[in-house]
Chain A
Amino acid sequence: GQQLNQSPQSMFIQEGEDVSMNCTSSSIFNTWLWYKQDPGEGPVLLIALYKAGELTSNGRLTAQFGITRKDSFLNISASIPSDVGIYFCAGQPNLNNAGNMLTFGGGTRLMVKP
């Protein structure tokens, strides 16, 4: 089946630093999504991307849909303690085929030192 490789697996950064993480696939996706999971909670959708090359922001978060359709990137600027959590990428192969479900990456665990 399709695989999403997400990196890094974990990051321990200082408050105020910028963060970058990415997700790559061996096959093409037509939708990319980024989720955040707070400790003890379920994942919550942060950003959805629907077009190759698209760059979308949500506050301090910016995500990009790679031109090749095989990767996506998430950046967090000026990190704060509440950014702590696990970030998941997810891809959907074909927007028009309802039979193709989301594939999730393994997650990036972010820890922020005040």
Chain B
Amino acid sequence: NAGVTQTPKFQVLKTGQSMTLQCAQDMNHNSMYWYRQDPGMGLRLIYYSASEGTTDKGEVPNGYNVSRLNKREFSLRLESAAPSQTSVYFCASSEVLGGGGYTFGSGTRLTVV
């Protein structure tokens, strides 16, 4: 099915470990986003990429880095995981930056112990 694919679905990390969350979309969308979802906090934007070759910080970028590898793929990296980064992470894409409805992936549930 067309859409946004995220891997892995679940991950447990120890404090200080690093990992990369992968995201790929097959809708030929130009813009991609990474959000985190915490209880009672809604969706908070970590980083976004308006188009291939560009990335910008969102509301909560500290502790994260991103790479827009090509038009399809946008990865999120945690260099040194902290318990405060325990969350559910969602990747999303849209045809243009901010335009219309975003398509979301099914999420990565990350626990940092």
Contacts and interface: CB of A to CB of B under 8 A. Distances in A.
A92 B98 CA distance: 7
B40 interface: yes
Given A1-B59, A88-B42, A105-B42, A42 B90 contact: yes
A98 B104 contact: no
A65 B33 CA distance: 25
Contacts of A9: 40
Given A41-B107, A42-B106, A44-B104, A104 B43 contact: yes
A33 B101 contact: yes
Given A104-B42, A106-B40, A45 B97 contact: no
B96 interface: yes
A107 B42 contact: yes
Interface string B81-103: 00000000010100011111111
Instruction: Tell me the dominant secondary structure on chain A's binding face.
Output: loop
What is the interface residue range for chain B against chain A?
A: 20 to 34
A39 to B, nearest CB: 11
Interface in B39-73: 40-43, 45, 48, 50, 59
Contacts of B105: 42
Contacts of A106: 40-42
Given A42-B92, A45-B103, A98-B98, 14 more contacts: A1-B59, A9-B40, A33-B101, A40-B107, A41-B106, A42-B106, A43-B90, A44-B104, A48-B101, A88-B42, A92-B98, A98-B96, A100-B98, A107-B42
